[in-house]
Structure 1
């Protein structure tokens, strides 16, 4: 008999489904229940504050998460077991402050946390090293490479002596610090003593640092890591391929398009050697996109054609639809309108044979926009309406489709509707649907300088709980729409 999930487990399940507001509401209710039962400032209260902070952090509500962690650190830590939890709360606070760019405050909390850990665990215990690693990371971010190197070396030595698997994360950070120092030293110490599974974890730890620091430094680490993994695990090992894929993504971000194409070709060749058909298809789509972005139009179209042949062999209508959609968009960019319409129409037909609403919705949006821009408004209207019925309302393609449908209903073939109005309306609906029906008299939402500006008028005086709920829902809406609308379609 399986046990029911704990509140924090249920909340993270909701986060994984993209239901950010519901996850926050669940943990807010849990905090209220714990406070009523055990009292403000109790150990249980501090734990619930931390749990709510973790949910808020993962829902992109960093400021509120920081306050939850700070509240958790105010609880008395006299009990030895609770002191361990208190160390975690302070670490979370320091990390969240760093994420918010509040580096002075973050360094203060992380240094204090490291000192508290040494007093609690002793210098030789890995519990102390858990406080050193984030401090070294912060020092790297602040450009204090000498001190960062000193701190990370102590963390690596500690984890290594204790045989602790977290050494892999410390080694990844050390590699970045050494690369930033540019002394010519090897980025990784000899790893012969580590088993293959920990070598794989080193690679995963490096990948998890994507976006944390200087992109050129990160790319340097990736290139060295690829060579290390090929020598140790082989060029067809999945860890090697994962790092090559990240190197390709890094090349796009850094403008190294030639390096990006080369990395994708190496990944594609490996998947073909291993007869991994679906993975090879995804790599081929990435290659076609990269070729388009470097101006190799003919090469990209040939790659799309070969990718479609791969999809036909696999027999998945969803994969075929995805290839045809991207191929059709590339043909339209190349000015081959008749061929583009044919591929986009085939993408919709394949998606209708499949079972994935998102695939159908995205194919419909691509075809609907094409038809609109060609002046065939009635056809465009029908296709876009089908798209909106299939997509999540806050999916990026749904936003584009809704905006274009507005233009179609106005009889326009260009201009593509007022996207900001579309987004504002969706934001307003999101907030209003989560509040008591008699609370709001007016809710104006506008996008100013790339952010939401909210003006609220209430029908009546809210209770304290309702006011907190209003603030929480608005914060959730910010996180929900910022996350969805800035993601790549």
Structure 2
């Protein structure tokens, strides 16, 4: 018999699907059920608070996550297991405070947690090193490189001596501290003493902690790539993941030519290995990089070769993505006739598949093209079809909805009131997740990149409704911050 998934596991599965409110609903109900069974202030209640806090943390609702972790950490442990859990709750609280930018509060909690770990575990136990790691990470973020390095070294020695796999994460942290110090000391010395799996984890941890806004990150990542090529080989997946991250970093830092060079290396590796689908995705990334490097002819040639790859693979969703991007590139290159063919083919391929988002994105791309060509009735039909199947918070849905507003006004160019469209999508997100008769009206506007919201109730909320409204609003803020970036298409 299959064991049912724990509520927190189900909640994280919902998060991976983008269902933030459903995940929070599930864990809120679980906390309420635990409170009803065991009361407040006990170990069960603390564990449920921590589970809810973890879901909120991953849903980018930091203030509520901090509140949950603070509740959990406030419950004193009365036996070995509950005392150990309380140490975890305090570390989670420090981590959430750090994520919220509340660095002084974070350091206070992490230092208190480290003292408690020392008393509980002793200095030689890996449980003590678990408290050293986040404190060193925080100190590095605060610019105290010397102390961060000292604490990271202590954690490495502890975990290495205990043969604990978490040493990979701390070695990544130490490499970042060495890089920040600006010395000639090797950052990745000793990789030959680690098994392959641990080297892979080290790489993943380092990639996860990179700040893509910091130009210095490029030197650290370049050094990691070189170390991985030497230790694991140029075609190892960890090396390719690091190269792909280096390409993304090049985009974020404006180094488009460097990005093209790196993606070309990745594509060559996948071709050497005969890995068709990863090679196709690398080819798409290469075409976009070439376009952003102002080499449109090279980009169009790459799209043509990517289309041939997609035809060989035979997956409609992948083929639609290639055709959509190729059509947009042809449009921007001033070639409307082949652009229209590719965009129509993209929508046809998407309809053959089973992914609604692919259908929506292809419809929006074709609809924008038809609008700009002055074919407004066709544009309206295609845009409405595409928007019907897209998440309202999806960036393409935001742009498509704004263009649809312009189409309805009879305009062939311009994307209409983009801020107003974002506000409308935010409003729709909230209204579809609360009782229909609760609000008289919901006023939403976007000012200086932030949402300004006015809530007007129609009636007195029933028990629990106001709390639900509050966290649906917080989920809307988190969802739109996370998903709404720069428009994908020019208006």
Short-chain TM bin: over 0.9
Q: Is this contact kept in 1: 2:280–2:309, CA < 8 A? A: yes
Q: 1:74 to 1:61 in 2, by over 3 A?
A: same
- Once the two structures are superposed, the pairs formed by residues 35-50 of structure 1 within 5 Å of their partners are 35-50=35-50
Compare 61-70 and 304-313 and name the one that shifted more. 304-313
1:429 maps to what in 2? 428
Q: Is the 8 A contact 1:406 1:417 kept in 2?
A: yes
Indicate yes or no: 2:288 matched with 1:293.
Answer: no
What's the offset of the Cα at 1:464?
5.1
Local SS of the residue matching 1:149: helix
Change in CA separation of 1:354 and 1:433 when aligned onto 2, cut-off 3 Å: closer
Task: Work out whether residues 260 and 289 of structure 2, in 8 Å CA contact, stay in contact via their aligned partners in 1.
Answer: yes
- Give the alignment of 1:96-111 within 5 angstroms: 96-111=96-111
Q: Distance in 2 between matches of 1:215 and 1:161?
A: 34
- Secondary structure of the 1:454 match is strand
Query: How many angstroms does 1:358 deviate by?
Result: 1.6
Residue 6 (structure 1) aligns with: 6
Alpha-carbon offset, residue 417 of structure 1: 2.6
Secondary structure at the aligned position of 1:390 is classed as coil
1:158 paired residue number: 158
Kindly provide the CA deviation profile for residues 203-233 of structure 1, in whole angstroms up to 9, marking residues without a partner as x: 112122133x763332222211212111221
Deviation at 1:421, TM superposition (A): 2.4
1:253-332 equivalence runs, <5 A: 253-332=252-331
Shift of 1:327: 1.1
Distance (Å, rounded) in 2 between the aligned partners of 1:368 and 1:463: 43
Alignment of 1:48-59 (within 5 A): 48-59=48-59
Distance 1:278 1:10 in 2: 29
Following superposition, the deviation at residue 70 of structure 1 comes to: 0.7
Q: Contact (CA 8 Å) 1:110, 1:134: kept in 2 or not?
A: yes
Deviation of residue 453 (structure 1)? 1.2
The answer to which of 114-123 and 352-361 deviates more is 352-361
**Partner Cα separation in structure 2 for residue 68 and residue 353 of structure 1:** 45
| Aligned equivalents of 1:464, 1:351: Cα separation in 2 | 45
Per the alignment, residue 354 of structure 1 pairs with 353
Contact 1:348 1:364 in 2 (8 A): yes
Q: Alignment partner of 2:456: what SS?
A: strand
Q: Distance in 2 between matches of 1:110 and 1:488?
A: 40
* Residues 141-150 or 216-225, more deviating: 216-225
Q: Distance in 2 between matches of 1:488 and 1:264?
A: 24
TM-fit CA distance, 1:141: 0.5
Cα drift, residue 131 of structure 1? 0.4
Cα distance change on mapping 1:304 and 1:214 into 2, 3 Å? closer
Residue 407 (structure 1) aligns with: 406
Describe the superposition over 1:247-286 as per-residue Cα deviations: whole angstroms up to 9, x where unpaired: 1111111122222111111101111111111111111111
Give distance in 1, aligned partners of 2:352 and 2:434.
39
Note the 1:185-200 alignment, pairs <5 A: 185-200=185-200
Match of 2:339 in 1: 340
Q: Cα RMSD (Å) of the superposition? A: 1.6
Alpha-carbon shift at residue 463 of structure 1 (Å): 4.4
Question: SS of the residue aligned with 1:163?
Answer: coil
Partner SS state of residue 192, structure 1: helix
1:166-177 matches, within 5 Å, as 166-177=166-177
Shift of 1:129: 0.4
Aligned counterparts of 1:334 and 1:206: Cα–Cα separation in 2: 39
Q: Is the deviation greater in 429-438 or in 254-263? A: 429-438
What TM-score comes out, normalization by structure 1 length? 0.96
Q: Which moves more between the two structures, 470-479 or 309-318?
A: 309-318
Check whether the contact 1:281–1:311 (CA below 8 A) recurs between aligned residues: yes
Contact 2:392 2:429 in 1 (8 A): no
Give the TM-score of the pair, scaled to structure 2: 0.96
Gaps of 5+ in 1: none
Moved over 6 A (4+): none
**Given the superposition, is the C-alpha separation of residues 161 and 66 from structure 1 closer, same or farther in structure 2, using an over 3 Å criterion?**
same
- Structure 2: where are the runs of 5+ without partners? none
